Amino acid sequence: MKPIQTLFLVFILILSACRTSPEFSYDIEKTAISDKAMVVSAHPEATRVGVEILEKGGNAIDASIGVQLALAVVYQNAGNIGGGGFMVYRDKDGKVKTLDYREKAPKAATRDMYLDSLGEATDKSRNGHLAVGVPGTVAGLFAAHKNGKLPFKDLIQPAIDLAENGFYLTKKQASSLNSKREDFVKYNTTPPVFVKEGEWKKGDRLVQKALAETLKRIRDNGQAGFYEGKTADLLVAEMQAGGGIITKDDLKSYEAKWREPISFTYKGYEIHSMPPPSSGGIALAQLLGSIEPYPIAEWGFQSPATTHLMIEAERRTYADRATHLGDMDFYKVPITQITNKEYLKNRMADFDPNKASLSKETEAGQVKESEETTHLSVVDGEGNAVSVTTTLNTSYGSKVIVSGGGFVLNNEMDDFSAKPGTPNFFGLVGAEANAIQPEKRMLSSMTPTIVEKDGRLFMVVGTPGGSTIITSVFQTFVNVVDFGMSMSEAVQAKRFHHQWLPNKVFYEANTFPDSVLTALTQKGQIMEERGSIGRVDAILVTEDGKLEGGADTRGDDHAAGL
């Protein structure tokens, strides 16, 4: 094709991809109450898809699949088919299991692939083709679907329609696309649909024809429609064009895995969360086990005493995370040892209520042996519950969109320890347990969680937020159980975060009054204000049996029920 013809074609695609309706605005609900079923997700269109699937007789698994596919279209900076995720599933009879469809390192990956000639870590794990792990989302959707009720084609069709016909951008989405324009140009071999003349605006209609065709191939050919055939050809061609290392063999050999949940108790509540390669379940068990002996309800919500205790628990937990956690298929994770009550009691033995610990002196306990993610919570009319967190890692992942395929690829290779002891994008430090190996799954902070009380469903919760995911779920749960908040109040409450290194307590604006900040500083805590922390989407079963959905005001998240 001649250059002038190519430019004309790109111009036509841009025109067709952008139609504007400035007056358009989504009707977003942050709190929803329902007698029957509930869906909470990061975008109103995705929540709508989930509710419609439930109305057609689908169960929570069906709805979660439809929502994930819709998010791949309408929430491209984190929703995906080019990334991976985790699911916690509790069926109506109370049986809980988890599904791991985390990305994997390509077979050609090597331990030192991101180090320069001096042995220092580079940024090649964060942007561009070499940062991409083998995607697991599509395999995960088909593995989950074995527990569904409706045909897969009925679950994917809404996403196809959204891609083919377009959807309206929110103000946040327009701003997000504009902020990444230079990256889209820099890291792509052909101009993606996300790049247009001028800036995106609220009400612009985004049409994604190439993505629609990719989704149709999945609809018509099942899992092979992504991991084999034309889509696989397009993905591998993209890798070869940009210096990536994923091959057709990597794609075809990918498998999602059902795993036993991390299950533990806190004050009479039974909590089920993700096992490794997610650090979320173990870390949540450590955090709650560490604070359980203390009367935080008496001390008060975000009082100096409560906050100081929670910070110190977070410091110790993240130190353990850095040393002991990795992919269980490659590393023997000491789950039982580091989550039992006696171990946690010993970890908190040096806790001083009047003085902050020093991170440089806080090492992992001894044992013998994003920030761009998205979460959805679903409960159906039969009592099945699903908690799903998926990710591309950072916003729009590697910034690479598969030419001709229209989907964004992850940059999950940055979640490995490129060099043990060197922080990743989120400042998290890893060790040998999370070193790069071929076909290994990288450590994650995703913490999709389901809570029971007296054997009955109580809460479905999770959030995006990179390293802050664990602490956001931790604080949201405690807000309900210890401080008596409603689901919506717990979700909207201001949050803080400590992750061992760097030795700082990050907190959202207006989290603490000056008196509390002063008290914490006097104890030796180093306080630093930052932007929003997490975007929790959760569902609570209230005392009268109703479902309360809480959608985070920090995003375009939307809750809706039947």
Both tokens assigned to 207:
């049409």
Closest CA to 226 of 135, 303, 144: 135
288-328 pLDDT tens trace: 999 999 999 999 999 999 999 999 999 999 999 988 899 99
The Cβ of residue 437 has, within 10 Å, a number of other Cβ atoms equal to: 18
Spatial separation of the C-alpha atoms in residues 343 and 366, rounded to whole Å: 9
94: CB partners within 8 A, 6+ apart: 452, 455
Judge whether 267 and 153 are in contact, CB under 8 Å.
Answer: no
Match 């989907």 to its residue by tokens: 407
Decide if 408 contacts 74 (C-beta within 8 A): no
pLDDT tens, residue by residue, 474-488? 999 999 999 999 999
Question: Per-residue confidence at 421, pLDDT binned at 50, 70, 90?
Answer: low
User: What is the mean pLDDT of the segment spanning 383-389?
Assistant: 98
pLDDT score of 1: 43
Q: In the predicted model, what is the mean pLDDT of residues 444-457? A: 97
pLDDT at 365 over 50: no
Could you give the CA distance from residue 462 to residue 476 in angstroms, rounded to a whole number? 9
Q: What type of residue is 538?
A: A
Active site residues: 373
SS3 category, 354: coil
What's the pLDDT score for residue 529? 98
Backbone angles phi, psi at 558, to 5 degrees: -140, 135
The answer to whether 78 and 372 are in contact (CB under 8 A) is yes
Tokens at residue 338, please? Answer: 């580091």
- The angle at the Cα of 314, spanning 313 to 316, to the nearest 5 degrees, equals 70
Q: Can you read off the two tokens belonging to residue 293?
A: 């002996």
- pLDDT higher than threshold 70 for residue 9: no
Q: What b/e sequence results for 466-504 when a residue is b if at least 16 CB atoms lie within 10 Å of its CB, and e otherwise?
A: bbbbbbbbbbbbbbbbbbebebbebbbbebbbbbbbebb
The secondary structure element, H or E, covering residue 120 is none
Tokens representing residue 414 in the block: 């940055």
Answer whether residue 8 shows pLDDT above 70: no
Residue with the larger pLDDT of the pair 14 and 122: 122
Average pLDDT on 36-61 reads 98
CA torsion sign, 160 to 166 to 168 to 172?
Answer: positive
Give the integer Cα–Cα distance in Å for 532 and 555. Answer: 10
Cis peptide, bond prior to residue 192, ω within 30 of zero: no
- In the sheet that holds 496-497, the strands lie side by side as 496-497, 505-508, 527-530
CA distance 313 to 291: 7
Q: Does residue 152 have a pLDDT over 70?
A: yes
> Residues 526, 11: contact at Cβ < 8 Å?
no
Q: How far apart are CA 86 and CA 389, in angstroms?
A: 6
What 296-299 contacts at long range (C-beta under 8 Å, 24+ apart), as own/partner pairs, is 296/478, 296/482, 297/482, 297/483
Burial of 20 (0-12, 13-18, 19+ CB in 10 A): middle
Looking up tokens 């992504």, which residue turns up? 226
- Listed in sequence order, the residues at least 6 apart from 22 whose beta carbon sits closer than 8 Å to its beta carbon are 201, 202, 203
CB 61 within 8 A of CB 384: yes
Q: Kindly report the average pLDDT of the chain as a whole number.
A: 92
Q: Which two tokens stand for residue 371?
A: 């920030």
Which of 302, 319, 292, 312 has its CA nearest to residue 354?
A: 312
Q: How far apart are CA 229 and CA 7, in angstroms?
A: 28
> What is the bridge-based pairing of β-strands 18-20 and 372-379?
unpaired
- What's the rounded Cα separation, in Å, for the pair 551 and 41? 7
Distance CA 199, CA 202 (A): 10
Order of strands across the sheet that contains 167-168: 18-20, 204-206, 167-168
Q: Are strands 167-168 and 38-41 parallel, antiparallel or unpaired?
A: unpaired
pLDDT score, position 244: 97
Which pLDDT band holds residue 537 (cuts at 50, 70, 90)? very high
Q: How far apart are the first and last CA of the chain?
A: 52
Q: Is 386:61 a contact under the CB 8 Å cutoff?
A: yes
Q: Which residues pair with 549 in a beta bridge?
A: 32, 539
Name the CA radius of gyration of the chain, rounded: 22
- Cβ-based neighbour number of residue 336 at 10 Å: 10
Q: What phi-psi label fits residue 86: left (phi over 0), alpha (psi between -120 and 50 degrees) or beta?
A: beta
Question: pLDDT at position 14, please?
Answer: 46
Burial class (CB in 10 A: 0-12, 13-18, 19+), 120: exposed
pLDDT tens digits, one per residue of 488-533: 999 999 999 999 888 999 999 999 999 999 999 999 999 999 999 9
Give the pLDDT confidence score for residue 424 in this predicted structure: 56
Give the residue extent of every domain in the chain: 259-371+446-542
462: Cα separation from own chain's centroid: 8
* Phi/psi of residue 500, nearest 5 degrees: 75, -65
The residue written with tokens 């959707």 in the block is 141
DSSP state of 101: E
- What residues have CB less than 8 Å from 361, skipping those under 6 apart? none
pLDDT at position 278 over 70: yes
Report the CATH fold assignment for 259-371+446-542. Serum Albumin; Chain A, Domain 1 (1.10.246)
Query: What pLDDT is stored for residue 366 in this prediction?
Result: 43
3-state secondary structure (DSSP) of residue 54? helix
